[in-house]
């Protein structure tokens, strides 16, 4: 039934995948409009620290939150952090390297104490600290990081959708 009509099917969408995409769209709205009434209510109840992408599913959560949480898990498969000032992005845990296959650094952390992307940026010149990056990361990661453009002015980091040019999540993508 879910096979396209041109292949002899009835052309119905995979309803489970479509539902997950719609729930991921709600997750995108919570990120894009953090001051909406819905976002404020859900934040107060389920993710008090304001980090919806790293929240956990607690026992006794409402059916609505359980559904949204599965949408968050779907959304996490394709989002990427865009570097502004680097203060919100974890070097080792967050997806922020666009040219990497999984959008993360491949270098193993080891005993490196640097945790935030902001620590890799020279604040006076608003450029990457090239020597530090080459010392810490494998050559492939170092080159990928150095190819990420930095904003000239101070702007905050933001979440973007990796699978379209505009960076805005759509159900279709």
Pair 71, 23: CB distance under 8 Å: yes
Give the Cα separation of 68 and 72 in Å (integer). Answer: 6
pLDDT band at 60 (very low <50, low <70, confident <90, very high): confident
pTM of full prediction above 0.85: no
Share of the chain above pLDDT 70, in %: 97
Give the Cα separation of 85 and 126 in Å (integer). Answer: 9
- In the chain, where the domains are located: 5-75, 79-161
pLDDT at 24 > cutoff 80: yes
pLDDT band at 136 (very low <50, low <70, confident <90, very high): very high
pLDDT score at 29: 93
Mean model confidence pLDDT for the chain: 88
pLDDT at 75 > cutoff 70: yes
């Amino acid at each position: 039934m879910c096979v396209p009509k041109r292949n002899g099917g009835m052309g119905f969408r995979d309803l489970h995948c479509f539902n997950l995409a719609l729930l991921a769209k709600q997750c995108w709205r919570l990120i894009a409009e953090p001051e909406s009434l819905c976002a404020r209510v859900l934040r107060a109840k389920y993710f008090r620290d304001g980090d919806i992408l790293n929240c956990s599913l607690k026992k006794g959560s409402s059916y609505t939150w359980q559904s949204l949480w599965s949408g968050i898990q779907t959304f996490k498969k394709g989002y990427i952090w865009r570097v502004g000032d680097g203060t919100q992005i974890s070097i080792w845990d967050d997806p922020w390297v666009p040219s990497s296959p999984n959008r993360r650094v491949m270098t193993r952390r080891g005993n490196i104490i640097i945790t935030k992307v902001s620590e890799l940026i020279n604040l006076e010149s608003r450029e990457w600290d090239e020597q530090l990056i080459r010392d810490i990361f494998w050559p492939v990661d170092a080159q990928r990081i150095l190819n990420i453009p930095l904003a000239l002015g101070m702007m905050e980091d933001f979440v973007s959708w990796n699978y379209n040019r505009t960076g805005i999540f759509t159900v279709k993508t």
